[in-house]
Amino acid sequence: MLAHPYHLSQPMQILDSKGLSPSQPELATESFLSIKNVSKVYETPRGPFTVLDGVDLDVQAGEFICLIGHSGCGKTTLLNMVSGFSTPTQGEVRVEGRLITKPGPDRMVVFQNYCLLPWKTAYENVDLAVKAAFPGKSKPERASQVWEHLEWWV
C-alpha cells in the first residue's frame, strides 16, 4: 500500500469542550488563534436568535483545523469574527494575543460568494483593499500594487 504524499506523522486531534485527552500532547500556552466563550445572538422580529453559544477554541501556529457542520450552524459567523467582519455578542477572539475588533491585513478570507462592489471597476475594487490595508501609501505606490495584483488578468 502506498503512503499518501501528505500523510500526517501523528493522528488527527479531535477537540471538544472537554479539551484534549490525557494521551495527547499539551498545546503551547500562547495560542495563535484563541476563541474564548464566544456567543453570537442576532435580534430578529421573533426575538433573539442564538447562533453560537460559549464557543472555546485554541489553534496553535501551523496547526490545520476544519470547521464542519450543517448549513446555518454558525461556521461562517465564527470565521467572520476571526476575520474581524463581525464581533461576538459575548466573549473574545484573539490572534497572536491581539483582540480582533476589525478586519486587518494580517488575516485573509475567501468568500463563499462574489464580494466585489458591482458599481466599481476591478481596479477600484482592488484599490479599495490596498487603501484599507496600507493607508500611508501614496496614490502612485497604490497604483503600482493594484496593477501588480491585476496583471495576470491582462
Domains of the chain: 1-106 (3.40.50.300), 116-154 (no CATH)
Comparing C-alpha atoms, which of 62, 96, 66 is closest to residue 78? 66
Predicted pLDDT at 151: 84
The reported pLDDT for the residue numbered 5 is 41
- pLDDT, residue 13, reads 47
* Alpha carbons 143 and 137: distance in angstroms, whole number: 10
Which of these, 40, 46, 147, lies nearest to 88 by C-alpha position? Answer: 40
Q: What is the mean pLDDT of the segment spanning 71-89?
A: 92
Own/partner contacts of 87-91, CB < 8 Å, gap of 24 or more, are 88/38, 88/39, 88/40, 88/52, 89/39, 89/40, 89/41, 90/37, 90/38, 90/39, 91/35, 91/36, 91/37, 91/38, 91/39, 91/54, 91/55
Segment 53-67, tens digit of pLDDT:
999 999 999 998 888
Percent of the chain with pLDDT strictly greater than 70: 77
pLDDT band at 8, cuts 50/70/90?
Answer: very low
pTM, rounded to two decimals:
0.60
Q: Collapsing DSSP states into helix, strand and coil, what is residue 91? A: strand
Calculate mean pLDDT across residues 23-36.
Answer: 73
